[in-house]
């Protein structure tokens, strides 16, 4: 039991902060780490007893192999965490960009339909989003989507990574969302796509990654294009309807001729 407690403490106080893990993920990885160390120690002890001739080789070697296998399984969890974290370490620390939104601040700035917005995302440390950011690169496509049902903010705008099963990677800041939510609600006619501008390290805590995105707000042009598309679809459907109506009339016409011809034949036969 003591090994589990030690592992849980290591996970909570060390792994959680180092790898930005959730609580239970940190506890689990801490336990796996301490168990890996425990079994590794058992395997080394078994090898030592064989070398010193304290135990017979035949049964002891199997225990050594079994402990070595368990040690590898436990320590592989930490190896996997280091592999995921190495991607983040490839982001140079001098790529830090300002935490302010849209050219320094949104104070006094009112976005207009059709404007291009470049901003950092909020909420990137929740729900394992740091692991997703480690694999994102500048230029990668994202989707900007309104979330009016959000219980914390009816103006909420979430950003989705379409390459990761449409998982949410963050939100537009509350201040900026309050100024552009109405534009999206009023003018959006199609999916709003954007791109990752930069993945950077937070200045005050380099272990945390941030992300900036850019996207274009919808405008009247999008609505006009949608109306034109709808009009063309209506015309196409109207033409298809008229065409089918014509063929129906043509079929009725020829059907009438056949009926009259059959009547004439019957009259001739009666004569």
Contacts of 201 (CB under 8 A, 6+ apart): 91, 93, 95, 96, 207, 208, 209, 210
Confidence (pLDDT) at 265: 52
For 222-258, the pLDDT digits (tens) are 566 655 565 555 555 555 555 554 455 555 555 555 5
Domain boundaries defined on the chain: 2-90, 95-218, 225-271
- What the block records as the tokens of 230 is 């709808």
**3-state DSSP of 159-185:** EEEHHHCCEEEEEECHHHHHHHHHHHH
The residue among 68, 23, 64, 21 whose CA lies nearest residue 46 is 64
Residue pair 36/12 in contact (Cβ under 8 Å)? The answer is no
Confidence (pLDDT) at 101: 38
Q: DSSP letter string over 116-174?
A: EEEEEEE-TTSTTHHHHHTT--TT-EEEEEE-TT-SS-TT-EEEEEGGGTTEEEEEE-H
Rounded Cα distance between 129 and 41, Å, is 35
Would the pLDDT of 87 be above 70? Answer: no
Assign 256 to helix, strand or coil: helix
170 has which bridge partners? 159
Confidence (pLDDT) at 268: 53
Confidence (pLDDT) at 173: 93
Question: What percent of the chain clears pLDDT 70, i.e. is strictly above it?
Answer: 69
Please indicate whether residue 119 or residue 101 has the higher confidence score (pLDDT): 119
Domain 95-218 CATH (choose: 3.30.70.2330, 3.30.70.260, 3.30.70.20, 3.40.1130.10): 3.30.70.2330
For 33-59, the pLDDT digits (tens) are 888 888 888 888 888 887 887 777 777
For 113-168, the pLDDT digits (tens) are 888 999 999 999 998 899 999 889 889 999 999 999 999 999 999 999 998 888 99
Whether the model pTM is above 0.95: no
């Amino acid at each position: 039991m003591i090994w589990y407690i030690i592992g849980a403490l290591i996970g909570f106080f060390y792994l959680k902060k180092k790898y930005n893990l959730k609580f239970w993920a940190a506890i689990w990885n801490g336990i796996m780490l301490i168990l890996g160390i425990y079994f590794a120690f058992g395997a080394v002890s078994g090898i030592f007893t064989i070398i010193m001739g304290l135990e017979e080789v035949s049964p002891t070697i199997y225990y050594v192999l079994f402990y070595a296998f368990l040690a590898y399984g436990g320590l592989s969890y930490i190896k996997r965490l280091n592999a995921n974290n190495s991607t983040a370490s490839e982001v140079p620390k001098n790529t830090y960009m300002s935490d302010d939104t849209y050219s320094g601040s949104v104070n006094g700035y009112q976005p207009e339909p059709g404007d291009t917005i470049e901003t950092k995302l909020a909420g990137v440390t929740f729900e394992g989003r740091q692991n997703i950011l480690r694999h994102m690169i500048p230029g990668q496509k994202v989707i900007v989507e309104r979330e009016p049902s959000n219980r914390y903010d009816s103006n909420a705008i979430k950003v989705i990574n379409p390459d990761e099963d449409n998982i949410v990677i963050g939100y537009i800041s509350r201040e900026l969302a309050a100024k552009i939510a109405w534009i999206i609600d009023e003018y959006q006619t199609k999916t709003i796509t954007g791109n990752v501008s930069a993945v950077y390290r937070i200045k005050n805590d380099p272990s945390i990654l941030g992300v900036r995105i850019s996207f274009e707000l919808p405008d009247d042009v999008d609505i006009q294009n949608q109306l034109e598309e709808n009009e063309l679809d209506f015309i196409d459907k109207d033409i298809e309807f008229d065409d089918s109506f014509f063929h129906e009339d043509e079929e009725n016409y020829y059907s009438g001729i056949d009926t009259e011809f059959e009547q004439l034949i019957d009259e001739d036969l009666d004569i």
